[in-house]
Amino acid sequence: MPLLDTDQELTRDSYYAATVVRGASYPVLDETVDCDVAVVGGGLAGLSAALDLAQRGFSVRLLEAREIGFGASGRNGGQAIHGLACDQDVIEAQLGAADARRVWDMTIEALDLLQGRIRKYRIDCDWRSGYLGLARNARKGVELAAWADRLEAVYGYPLQRIAPAEVGGWIASGEFHSGVHDARSGHLHPLKYTLGLAGAAREAGVHLHENSEVVALRQGPQVELRTARGSVRARQVLLAGNVYLQGLAPALAARIMPVGTYIACTEELPDVVADALIPSRSAVCDTNFVLDYFRTTNDQRMLYGGRVSYSTVTPSNLAQSMRQRMVATFPQLAAARIEHAWGGFVDISMNRAPDFGRLPAAAGHAPNIYYLQGFSGHGLALTGLAGQIVAEAMAGDASRFDVFARLRHRRFPGGRLLRTPSLVLGMAWHRLRDKLA
């Protein structure tokens, strides 16, 4: 079954889709048009780039295969957190201390950009400040404290330490040893935010097209993108479809893997229960390699994510499986009914670092096809900044974009047939380590 069709099945029971009101759909592309920049992908990275480019005076067309926010941008855990999916030492090893600090600072700028856009465009998306990183045992607690110490010493980013004796005041669960709190990070309703950003892009002059999957790409000084009913000719192109590019750029596909991630959401809980679970109402992640993440929503539900599938096969009895994980952390929710359970695919890179760059150009002209991928499940804030810095590069200033573009990425081992089984085995090892730690 094609990836897009599989994902369509997974998204039908999304809490986000059930609690948002979409306006009129954007038109299908059914003509041949010319523009300065064409963007492939109607998620946060593509929308952010399109918005920034239009504000710079570029004519922009955005092509989305399904509907705006269909992919990970519209159904993720809703957590906007400092940093990257990989540890900073991965960036330091490749870029050196100075540029690793630039990358870190840009991830914090991404948080500010997200919150600034919420205010500027008056996007009602349930923003709440606060993020808790929690360790499940003493050894992981020591590692978390050492990481926080280094983050403050090297990157000047302080986090509030939560000692074992204090952790009960932050979370009503006996599963955690200690933690850290970041007031600058937070969480929101990602589909509301994505649709709000699309509205801002439309107001800025971007032509948005839904149900307009790109089926062919022809490189050249003027790039041509063909859909089933139309085509776009553009001087520059951004590929921001991640795992949904469906073969348009095979070289890129080999460097990312689709990973299924799953979330469940309870019925509305009594106010006193919801307030007691996470008194700060922060977003929460544990520090396992295969982690759980959760938060309470503005309408008093527990939204719990954590089960992943590296085989792209959806777990059977998804709602019950997710409920078991939730109740293991919060036994007091044993009687709470699961109202929504859904999932979808995110793109991970080998080293979990973002993969930004340009496709090699045909002979005789400069590269004019840019790409953003490899957010590795940590892109709610970073996608916005990624869109902004690729827009800067297209406008002539690639200084920030090229810091990320210098990161080297390897193909997943095993080729087309064996790379998924190889990843499944690797992740099984990490799960075992998490359990034995």
Of the ranges 92-96, 207-211, 426-430, which one carries the lowest mean pLDDT score? 426-430
Helix (H, G, I), strand (E, B) or coil at 121: coil
Angstrom distances, CA of residue 361 to CA of 147, 223, 292, 357? 41, 11, 41, 12
Helix (H, G, I), strand (E, B) or coil at 145: helix
Q: Which two tokens stand for residue 48?
A: 């952010």
Of the ranges 42-46, 361-365, 379-383, which one carries the lowest mean pLDDT score? 361-365
Q: Is the pLDDT of residue 422 over 60?
A: no
Residues 48 and 116: their CA atoms lie apart, in Å, by 13
pLDDT tens profile 182-227: 999 999 999 999 999 999 999 999 999 999 999 999 999 999 999 9
Look up residue 80 and give its amino acid. A
CA angle 190/379/50 to nearest 5° reads 75
Contact 302, 330 (CB under 8 A): yes
pLDDT tens profile 137-188: 999 999 999 999 999 999 999 999 999 999 999 999 999 999 999 999 999 9
Q: Is the pLDDT of residue 431 over 50?
A: no
124 burial via Cβ count (<10 Å: 0-12, 13-18, 19+): exposed
Band of residue 123 on the pLDDT scale cut at 50, 70, 90? very high
Q: Which two tokens stand for residue 20?
A: 């948002």
340-353 burial, b at 16+ Cβ within 10 Å, e below that, comes to bbbbbbbbbbbbbb
Q: Is the pLDDT of residue 49 over 90?
A: yes
Residues 131 and 282: their CA atoms lie apart, in Å, by 5
Helix (H, G, I), strand (E, B) or coil at 24: coil
pTM of the predicted protein model? 0.93
Mean pLDDT of 281-304: 95
Residues 92 and 112: their CA atoms lie apart, in Å, by 23
Q: Is the pLDDT of residue 88 over 80?
A: yes
The 3-state DSSP composition of the chain as helix, strand, coil percent (nearest 5) reads 40, 25, 35
* Residue ranges of domains in the chain, CATH in brackets: 3-76+191-255+351-412 (3.50.50.60)
Of the ranges 152-156, 176-180, 241-245, 389-393, which one carries the lowest mean pLDDT score? 241-245
What is the CB neighbour count within 10 angstroms for residue 153? 9
pLDDT for the residue numbered 6: 56
Query: Nearest to residue 63, comparing CAs of 196, 218, 215?
Result: 215
What is the CB neighbour count within 10 angstroms for residue 63? 26
Residues 62 and 273: their CA atoms lie apart, in Å, by 43
